[in-house]
């Protein structure tokens, strides 16, 4: 089944403890993006990647890192999480840069 897989689905962590949210797609898509979703703000792009080793900042990149060493994987790294990064995170991929397929989401709480 064609899909985007994120892990974990839920995560509660403490301020400052490094964490990684994994994202993998099995559709051989070139484009991948990370979004955060907060009430009333819709989906805001954190980082995106147009191909292996090609990444760029979205609208809200502060406090996040990404890497794209393989086409299928696009992990999101929070080096030192803070409470304002408590949010619902989505990874998404696309063949053409349009019409993204989203993962099921990761609900992160930073206390």
Partner 1 sequence: GQQVMQIPQYQHVQEGEDFTTYCNSSTTLSNIQWYKQRPGGHPVFLIQLVKSGEVKKQKRLTFQFGEAKKNSSLHITATQTTDVGTYFCAGGGNNDMRFGAGTRLTVKP
**Which one among 24, 90, 93, 108 touches partner 1, defined by CB under 8 A?**
90
Residues 26-85 that bind partner 1 (CB under 8 A): 31, 33, 35, 40-45, 48, 50, 56, 58-59
49-57: Cβ within 8 A, 24+ apart: 49/74, 50/97
Q: How far is the CB of 41 from partner 1 (least distance, A)?
A: 6
Query: 38: Cβ–Cβ under 8 A, 6 or more apart, which residues?
Result: 44, 87, 88
Piece of the chain touching partner 1 by CB under 8 A; list 12-20, 64-72, 75-83, 92-100? 92-100
């Amino acid at each position: 089944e064609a899909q985007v897989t994120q892990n974990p689905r839920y995560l509660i962590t403490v301020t400052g403890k490094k964490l990684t949210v994994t994202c993998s797609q099995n559709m051989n898509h070139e484009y991948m993006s990370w979004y955060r979703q907060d009430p009333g703000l819709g989906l805001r792009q954190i980082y995106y990647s147009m191909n292996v080793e090609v990444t760029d900042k979205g609208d809200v990149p502060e406090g996040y890192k990404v890497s794209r060493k393989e086409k299928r994987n696009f992990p999101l790294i929070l080096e030192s999480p803070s409470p304002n990064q408590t949010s619902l995170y989505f990874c998404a991929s696309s063949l053409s840069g349009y019409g993204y397929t989203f993962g099921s989401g990761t609900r992160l709480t930073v206390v």
